[in-house]
Amino acid sequence: MSKSIEFVKGLDKIIILAQGYSWYQCPEKAPEGAEIWGSNVIYRDYPNVDRLFFAHDIRHNILHDDVDLVENINKLEVPVYTAGVCKILKKNAQIPILELINEFKTGFFLNVIAYMLATAIMQKPKALELYGVDMRPDAGGEAYTNEKGSVEFWCGAAICRGIPIKNTKESYVMKTKQEGSFPGFKKKVPQKGLYNQIPKEERNPFVLQNYIILPVGTEI
């Protein structure tokens, strides 16, 4: 059954599906009482989304991901939420950005997942599930060092409102080199320090400014 543009309040769960490596673990279809919200061009791999979200101008996705994006999305006949009005999409509505800012008193939205999480929280589901929301360090510096914090902020907002979150083991969201200071916590992995990991012949101010060390294995 075709979904209305209007969001559904009080669902058993909202599943947020992104394009990280763990997306394949998402259920084939949304179970009864749940919806699957997809981000960007995930529809190419997973056409059973109930709602689709784009945070950036879709012309970027047309240029880099799918030249037939508009035609393909319109065939899905699902609600598509964008930052601005996009009349060439059949079932288009704006992400309720002003409503979100008014509710949460912040505009900490650095990617589409942040918008999706905040919008989902507003619908008061009983639970949230994340697939493909990996924020891996090898996804790129911006995704890991900047956008990861935005996603984690909204996960925290959900938890504070009593909405539990299930994520994949592959995800790096809300994970770090140590868990905290409580019984049974994961101890911090010893680090030699960034400077010592750079070859001596490359240790100069310019290199240090641009040198990126990606965490490996149990260091995360």
pLDDT tens, residue by residue, 25-44: 999 999 999 999 999 999 99
Sheet holding 165-166, edge to edge: 92-94, 80-82, 51-54, 34-39, 13-17, 128-131, 165-166
Specify the pLDDT at position 173.
Answer: 92
Answer whether residue 214 shows pLDDT above 70: no
Give the list of residues 6+ apart from residue 175 with CB closer than 8 angstroms, or none. Answer: 220
Specify the pLDDT at position 219.
Answer: 47
All structural domains of the chain with their residue ranges: 13-166, 178-220
Answer whether residue 59 shows pLDDT above 50: yes
pLDDT band (50, 70, 90) for residue 179: low
Instruction: Give whole-number Cα distances, 154 to 26, 84, 119, 170, 192, in Å.
Output: 20, 22, 10, 19, 32
Q: What is the pLDDT of residues 117-139, one digit of tens each?
A: 999 999 999 999 999 999 887 77
Specify the pLDDT at position 212.
Answer: 57
Cα dihedral 115/117/122/124 (nearest 10): 160
Answer whether residue 191 shows pLDDT above 80: no
Mean pLDDT of 17-26: 92
Answer whether residue 188 shows pLDDT above 80: no
Answer whether residue 147 shows pLDDT above 70: yes
Task: Please tell me the pTM assigned to this model.
Answer: 0.82
89: its two tokens: 């999409």
pLDDT band (50, 70, 90) for residue 56: confident
Specify the pLDDT at position 207.
Answer: 67
- Rounded Cα gap, residues 12 and 3, in angstroms: 17
If one compares 211 and 19, the residue with the highest pLDDT of the two is 19
The chain-wide mean pLDDT, for the chain, equals 86
Answer whether residue 69 shows pLDDT above 70: yes
- Rounded Cα gap, residues 148 and 15, in angstroms: 18
Specify the pLDDT at position 31.
Answer: 95
Specify the pLDDT at position 184.
Answer: 73
Sign of the C-alpha dihedral, residues 144, 61, 37, 98? positive
Instruction: Give whole-number Cα distances, 118 to 16, 70, 136, 151, in Å.
Output: 11, 26, 21, 10
